Amino acid sequence: MSPAPRKRSRAAARFTYPVLLSLLGTVLYATAPAQAAAVTLEAESARLSGGAAVSTDHGGYTGTGFVGGFTDANKGAASVSFGVTAEAAGNGTVTLRYANGTGATMTLSLYVNGAKVRQVSLPATANWDTWATRQESVTYAKGANTVAWTFTTADSGNVNIDNATAATSTGGTGTPTPSGALEAESAQLSGGAVAGSDHTGWTGTGFVGGFTDANKGSASASFGVNSAEAGAGAVTLRYANGTGATMTLSLYVNGAKVRQVSLPATANWDTWATVQEAVTYAKGANTVAWTFTTADSGNVNIDSITPATPTEPTDPGGPATLTHQAEDAFVSGGPARATAATGYEGSAYLSGFTTTGARAVFAVAAPSAATYPVTVRYRTPDTAASTVTLLANGTTVRRLTLPGTGGAWKSASTDAPLRAALNHVTLRTASGDNGTLQLDGIGVSGSTPGSTRGATLPYTTYEAESGSTNAGSVGPDRTYLTVPSEASGRKAVVLDATGEYVQFTLTKPANALTLRYSVPDNAAGTGIDSTLSVYADGTQLRDLAVSSKYSWVYGGYPYTNDPSQGSGHHFFDETRTLLTGTLPAGTVLKFQKDAADTAASYTLDLVETEAVPAALTMPSTGFVSATTLGVTPNDAGDDTSALNSAISTATSQGKGLWLPTGTYDISGHVDLAGADVRGAGQWYTVLRGKNGKGGLFGRGGTSNVQDLMIAGDVSYRDDADFDAAIEGDFGNGSTLTNLWIEHTKVGLWIDAPTTGLYASGLRIRDTFADGVNLHKGTKTTEVSHSSVRNTGDDGLAMFSEAQAVTDSVFRFNTVQLPLLANTVGIYGGHGNRVEDNLLADTVTGSSGIAISSRFAPVPFSGTTSVQRNTLTRTGGYEPNWQSKLGALWIYADSSDITAPVLVKDNEILDSTYSGLLVSWQKNVSALTVDGLKIDKAGSYGIEINSAGAGTFSRVTVGGAAAGGLSAAGGFTITRGAGNTGW
């Protein structure tokens, strides 16, 4: 097909809406004598007919509800009609706020005064709680008008409507000028740019065209913008692009080119869209120009611009509204917690941003995808401005110029685009920034609190044993080599006859699910493939593919795939699927063994459902697509060499590599050395291993990897030959976020001299060795907000082999069902921490948390901190030693543990054996236990078989089967206040 012809039309530039209003997703118009203000009309107050009805069962709506009922049952009838009064006849707009969680673009028909204007396409939103807007040009009569959205027989419907904003005629052919906007027709025009009015939908008295090929390299519209302060701001361009393709113009501020800006196609030349760009303003007069350079494709029209200029920072004069304290952020590259100043909020602030690469990363949860207001509370030592760069989920938002505060704490406002659920918001000293600030924290208006313990996760979990079923169940049982011992909560449901099912009622909308299950192995140990039927409200959705290829190992450690060795275990695996359309809350989701589902049995443990957003798109700048560099997804060919070449090429150009939606097959290491590799999302971009091989290997430098899945091909443990998903040296200040890892030897195996690695938002499932191992010499690294389940060894480990792992932390993670070893193991090292985690269901040779000198690590130094963790059904039997291991195990094995170990504000629930175990032949001489709750221990509450000494305060023991305390070995207990039950 040939490209769509370009309209040779005049073009101009101008800004749209103030930053604060655009952040709130609200479109307001200035009231002036010559024009009417736009009016937002709530759908629940409109005239409803044909089955349209008011509802409140989704979130995010305005007013008191929204209108649904645009369902297939009401096709041809459902309608919502608004009354609109116009001061004059003429052109205007109507903006519809709607939700479309179906996963596909749907349509309604727009009527004005009883006449159909057009069928309107309404693209899918992330879910039914996420709202979008669609603006349409219409012609109003003077006086009373009716504007209706109707589900005709020609439409696909199935959307919800929240409100409509009507901008009525001013008596000309345009729409009202947005508040704060500068009209392009009033700008300084040059190079062929000229005012026009031969299209509709513009604001003011016209628009500017002339950005045509005949004027390439010269056409420009320049605006004067006054700014009260120097600093970071934004400019929003309202434009029309009826060419059918994305076009570009270049943005200049004060004569300097800022960047080339992409302007996606609009529906036609009468339809207008906006783009917002971050800019830095000087104090006083500025010029902002949109120019058709020789590097641009031009051929757009410009209606207006709306500048958002920086303002003098405010002094809160009291407690700041900080949602995220600086002392809780992950820091690397220089910032450190400080307390020398006064007037800060919380327990500390951060100082030391002057080195390039210095950063503070905040984990921010958001209820939906939107742009959120962000407040930065900071101070500078003098009156000079400080510059620092704001990033959201790895993408630069803008450089912030923060006016000097002369030592006072003040707040500056900006904004950031966030995703639904977990986000990573970073303040980083980039090249060109001076970083001369101290940071008290940030406030993100509209964000939601993260979890207080465990990971902030995007899905809802339904345990099979809590569902409705006509089948039998297994468990509870913690006996090694039994199926329920490996089930979450030690219970599961077994479907072993046709017609048996388990079902759940969804509490939240979902368009994706992950099922944890077990099916039998075959005699060769190579696995069987089968299906399981999935229904929604009684209608079959699909056959879900299941397999035992990646489960079932046999014999003794390190285990094999040979059933003749007996002792089968590692029973469970997981399968995931994206659904067609979104299931609303209240849907009954059923998993059933039908006649065509041929496995002898299906043991179902749990299902996780979530609302997966649409695939991400490549950032507009700084990236090159792998498909343009010789990498072809979905062709079943080996992409290892092509990916290595593409990463090398992109990195040499100073760009990141974008991996579009698809599957990329790899059979070896994909090397990273200061690379930025991004995918379209965990559900869309997949690196798929082969024959136990395939993964990412760090070879130094600062790398970023995010938004993709690594699906290995490991079906048993082979430490010498098989690959980890991610391993090696990740240099200084690398980031690994929003990654899904499964069926690999190890999830992350990180080695020296890695420093300041931030790994967050990971799902690590069904590995055959560790989930994460921070290995010898790793420093100041954090793993947080990650789900780790069904590992073949420690879920999370720090192993100070030959070199100390230093000042690193596991925090806010959810770790379940390591089949061997511990949910968390710390083996030697300096000043490491385990904080705010949920840890559950260990199986064999295991504790919940092990602080251990086993495996002859570098001895402990500094303070090892274990704080605010919850351990549930942890601890286990070690058959090689015939020993019963406690839930929290302080184990002095190859060397004494003489450095301080702080155990504070933890809880141990339903431990298999003793709650706290201190052992063995060496000394544990500086143990502090403060604020420990032990409830329902299978043996002693506290068991000590070691020499040494410790102080215990606020330790409560209840329901311990063998008693509160067993102490031997000459350990000296100093009792503080608040102890009970032992």
pLDDT of residue 316: 56
| 618-648 as b/e: b if 16+ CB within 10 A | bebeebbebeebebebeeeeebbebbbebbe
pLDDT of residue 396: 93
d(CA 283, CA 303): 26
Q: Which amino acid is at 505?
A: T
How does DSSP classify residue 213? G
pLDDT score, position 174: 53
d(CA 649, CA 626): 10
Question: Rounded CA gap, 944 and 950, in Å?
Answer: 11
Helix or strand run (H / E) with residue 642: helix 640-652
With tokens 């065209």, the residue in question is: 209
Q: Among residues 872, 941, 868, which one has the least CA distance to residue 903?
A: 868
Q: 963 to each of 569, 878, 881, 980, how far by Cα in Å?
A: 33, 22, 23, 12
Place of tokens 């029973």: 571
Question: How many whole angstroms from its chain centre is CA 3?
Answer: 37
Alpha carbons 291 and 361: distance in angstroms, whole number? 36
Burial readout 814-836 (b: 16 or more C-beta within 10 A, e: otherwise): bbbbbbbbbbbbbbbbbbbbbbb
Backbone phi, psi, residue 43, to 5°:
-65, -35
Residue 715 to residue 561: CA distance in whole angstroms = 8
Tokens in use for 92?
């205007």
Pick from 235, 234, 236, 262: which is nearest to 398 by CA?
234
How large is the C-alpha radius of gyration of the chain? 31
Nearest residue to 401 (alpha-carbon basis) of 413, 391, 409: 413
Q: Which helix (H) or strand (E) holds 428?
A: strand 421-428
Q: How does pLDDT run across 214-270, given as a tens digit for each residue? A: 999 999 999 988 887 777 777 889 999 999 999 999 999 999 999 999 998 888 999
Task: Report the 3 state secondary structure along 528-588.
Answer: CEEEEEEEECCEEEEEEEEECCCCCEECCCCCECCHHHCCCECCCEEEEEEEEEEECCCCE
Integer CA distances (angstroms), 803 to 728, 734, 751, 937, 954, in order:
15, 20, 10, 36, 35
**What does the pLDDT look like over 53-108, one tens digit per residue?**
988 888 888 878 899 999 999 999 999 988 887 767 877 888 899 999 998 889 99
Q: With contact defined as beta carbons under 8 Å apart, do 901 and 928 qualify?
A: yes
Burial class (CB in 10 A: 0-12, 13-18, 19+), 56: exposed
Peptide bond into 753 cis (omega under 30): yes
> Which segments of the chain have a pLDDT < 50?
1-37, 170-173, 318-319
pLDDT value at position 5? 26
Amino acid identity at 29: Y
- Rounded Cα–Cα distance for residues 738 and 723 (Å): 20
The three state secondary structure string of 750-776 is EECCCECCEEEEEEEECCCCCCEEECC
CB 196 within 8 A of CB 206: yes
Residue 338 parent element (H or E):
strand 336-338
Task: Please say whether the beta carbons of 522 and 528 come within 8 A.
Answer: yes
For 758-789, b/e burial (b = at least 16 CB within 10 A) is: bbbbbbbbbbbbbbbbbbbbbbbbbbbbbbbb
Give me the pLDDT at residue 132, please: 87
Residues 374, 380, 383, 389: is their CA dihedral positive or negative? negative
Asked, as a colleague might, if the bond just before 558 is cis with ω within 30 of 0, I would say yes
Angle at 832 between CA 699 and CA 821, to 5 degrees: 85
User: From CA 534, how far away is CA 541, in angstroms rounded?
Assistant: 6
Beta bridge partners of 837: none
Strand partners, 2: none
DSSP one-letter code for 807: S
pTM of the model: 0.75
Please state, in angstroms and rounded to a whole number, the distance separating the CA atoms of residues 520 and 483.
11
